[in-house]
Amino acid sequence: MSDLLMTVVDWSRAQFALTACYHWLFVPLTLGLGIIIGVMETIYYRTRDEKWLATTKFWMTIFGVNFAIGVATGIILEFEFGTNWSNYSWFVGDIFGAPLAIEGILAFFMESTFIAVMFFGWKKVSPGFHLASTWLTALGAAISALWILVANAWMQHPTGVTFNPETMRNEMTDFWAVAFSPMAMAKVFHTVTSCWALGGAFVAGVCGWMLLKKRNRDHCMRSLKVGGWVGLVGIVLTSISGDTSAVAVAKHQPMKLAAMEGLYKGEPGQPIVAMGVLNPAKEVGNDEEPYLFDISIPHGLAFLATHDFNAFVPGIEDIIAGKSMDADGKPINTVSYEQRIAHGKAAQSALKQYNAALQTSDSSRLQEYKQVIDDNFQYLGYAYLDEPEEAVPNVPLTFYTFHVMVTIGGYLVVFFLVVLLLLYKPKWVPGRNKLAKLGYWLAIITIPLTYLCSMCGWAVAEVGRQPWTIQDLMPNKVAISDLSAGYVQTTFWIFAVVFTALLIADVSIICKQIAKKSKTDLNVLETK
């Protein structure tokens, strides 16, 4: 029975991951291109230069195709909460549903209204109103992302709620604590600004292909100036917000941070691994070295986690044993995972007794059991773990995706700086003409690299908090619906086929549009 349950859990997780990954192929390009198109149309509005209008319309066509398919995959993603994760939806529907409802009512209608004006209102509304519609479409997409990210951040760090044992549901007590928690704000800024970087990389890659084909050089120069600046600002802000996010993770999800570094036993002034290979034989409790090879930066992780070079950062085995750090970065003993399991079982038992007392209207017993529940509720999820080690995420996957993300992020900073240097100070770059072809290919390759960076970021965020659907409160095996493994497997493969077809259609249409329009003189398109 246990094996069957885990099969359902694994396939449900795989299906949600599949849907989320396909959806995220479209979302960041929508957010990134939205800003870039807004800047381009603003330049056209101020200069009335028809060349900028042609360039704006070129990228707007690609934006529209990508936007439409992104909406389709996003709707399916939200339905899966009810079909595959109904226990989760029941347990926290009052909290999780609020941001999603705001997203649907405010952002979706805002996007759908103004995107129509953006595409079909060029000669029907004033230039100022059209420009406002373009920016409002981009803003609507960002607001949509904001509320979805707020909902996701709450799963990482539940706050602003209280548990009602009579209904077995969590109820929101402080909306603003949910919306503006440190985890939520860090996640929103980090994710949205990374999309600007992806949009800039996409523009650079497409322009690289067009320059390789010797098409529309002036259009490419205009596009690269906007895409380069948006991309550079995006990746710099992503790096800054990533620092804020690391501090929040260190405070609220120390096990995730330890997995990101493959750290089993921490120390004051903990170094950070800049490059390394994990030892596959290393497990919790054995004496194997954690790395086969590593290059570390002294005090790096201590500073990343706390902004204190000498702070103690706990490793996986420290956290299991109950060792953590205080507000001053000093090691302290807290609640071990064995104790958390005991507290969780106490809350679980009290819930059963509370329900029995509720049937007999025994008010004195209800108050007694309610107090036990309140005292132990923060560890309720641990009651469902068979052993403390079950709360350790997939260390290799978390470690490698984190380091790939950071490495590509560093590359993107250099990439955008070089792009802008070549645009504004080409004489500063020796041998630029001989290296031009290589540079065009590098720009093209940067598109999939940036997508890989973005996907790795999400892998760190979601795999790093496993086995939790809601951190410390609900593990995956409790959150799923009562479904057969065969049903989930069938729908997984249906979605895989449908989403792959949508992706092929999206890429095919975008490539055809780029190839078709690149053969047109984009300097005179709007004057014919």
Residue 525's pLDDT band (cuts 50, 70, 90): very low
CA dist 192 and 32 (Å) reads: 8
How far separated are the first and last CA of the chain, in Å rounded? Answer: 70
Cα 13 to chain centroid distance, Å, stands at 16
Residue-level pLDDT at 4: 53
For residue 526, pLDDT over 50 is answered with no
- Give the mean model confidence (pLDDT) for residues 295-302: 92
- Give the mean model confidence (pLDDT) for residues 483-505: 88
Residue-level pLDDT at 528: 37
Q: Quick check: 308 and 330 in contact, CB under 8 A?
A: no
Pairwise pLDDT comparison (3 vs 373), residue with the higher score: 373
Q: Report which secondary-structure segment, H or E, holds 410.
A: helix 395-424
Please report, for residues 51, 172, 391, 414, the alpha-carbon distance to residue 93 in angstroms, rounded to integers and kept in the order given.
50, 10, 24, 44
Q: Which amino acid is at 515?
A: A
Going by C-alpha positions, the residue among 392, 420, 201 that lies closest to residue 314 is 392
Question: What angle (nearest 5°) sits at the alpha carbon of residue 330, between those of residues 327 and 333?
Answer: 95
- The 10s digit of each residue's pLDDT in 199-209 is 999 999 999 99
Q: For residue 373, give the 3-state DSSP assignment.
A: helix
CA dist 32 and 233 (Å) reads: 12
For residue 454, pLDDT over 90 is answered with yes
- Give the mean model confidence (pLDDT) for residues 502-520: 86
Please report, for residues 22, 293, 499, the alpha-carbon distance to residue 70 in angstroms, rounded to integers and kept in the order given.
9, 41, 11
**Mean pLDDT, the chain, as a whole number?**
88
Residue-level pLDDT at 332: 79
Q: What is the pTM of this model?
A: 0.91
CA dihedral in degrees (405, 408, 414, 415; nearest 10)? -130
For residue 460, pLDDT over 90 is answered with yes
Residue-level pLDDT at 432: 61
CA dist 428 and 423 (Å) reads: 10
CA dist 86 and 479 (Å) reads: 7
- The 10s digit of each residue's pLDDT in 323-370 is 887 776 677 788 899 999 999 999 999 999 988 888 887 788 888 888
Which parts of 48-174 fold into alpha helices (H)?
50-83, 86-102, 109-120, 127-156
For residue 245, pLDDT over 70 is answered with yes
